[in-house]
Amino acid sequence: MPLFKKKLSFEGGGLVLFMDVHDAMQAEKILKGADYAVKLVAPPPELRRGCDLALEINLVEQPGIERLLKEKESGYVSVNPIKPGTSGILEIVKVTDFGDWTMVKAANMKLSFEKKSGIIVNTSGGGCPDIPYLHAEMIGKRLDQAPRPRDLGFTLCALMLDRALDESLALWRGGSKK
């Protein structure tokens, strides 16, 4: 067993932007206290919104981090990918009709429900660790009674599954006689 662990270099991929330095430092404290790997950095010029201090995060953890910052009422402006050419989060969904079932796809995540009952029969896609957990929690529940991935999940995969749930709810309510 080594006495000293080599400190890992941190490669986050995401930036949390703030209006002032104080907010950035407060957010760092909150996130480090919750075991998130974060680093205070200067944002690139094209992402400067106010102060010159931002917080580098693992972009995949964006939903869990945003939820925690909101819970702690930490002021932040936005979360952005670091790479300047990166697109924004995908907003579009695709819908596939399987007869008695509908499948809604948001980015890499898919949610399928029975048209008549609104029961979630499957979720598929993704690769982050909250996805199999959400799969187990959501299957067998009605769309409007299922837990929200944005509440239980922590990753971008969960955020995309939440988008698929939103669209599924809209489709089901639009198609139901309620």
Among 15, 76, 143, 153, binds another protein (CB under 8 A): 153
Q: Phi-psi region for residue 73, left (φ > 0), alpha (ψ -120 to 50) or beta?
A: left
26 binds another protein (CB under 8 A): no
Part in contact with another protein (CB under 8 A); list of ranges 7-15, 20-28, 49-57, 165-173: 7-15
Cβ 20 to another protein shortest distance, Å: 27
Instruction: Tell whether residue 151 is a contact of another protein (CB under 8 A).
Output: no
Count CB neighbours of 110 within 10 A. Answer: 20
Cα dihedral sign for 47, 50, 56, 61?
negative
- Could you say which of 27, 57, 69, 156 contacts another protein (CB under 8 A)? 156
Q: Does 130 bind another protein (CB under 8 A)?
A: yes
Which of residues 75 and 140 has its CB atom nearest to another protein in the complex?
A: 140
Half-sphere exposure of residue 109: CA atoms within 13 angstroms, side-chain side: 28
- For residues 8, 11, 12 and 18, what is the CA-based torsion angle, rounded to 10 degrees? 90
Interacting residue with another protein among 8, 71, 73, 178 (CB under 8 A): 8
Tokens, residue 144: 């409007």
Place of tokens 């509440």: 151
Whose structure tokens read 């080594």?
A: 2
Is 128 a binding residue for another protein by CB under 8 A? The answer is yes
Is 58 a binder of another protein (CB under 8 A)?
A: yes
* Least Cβ distance, residue 162 to another protein (angstroms): 11
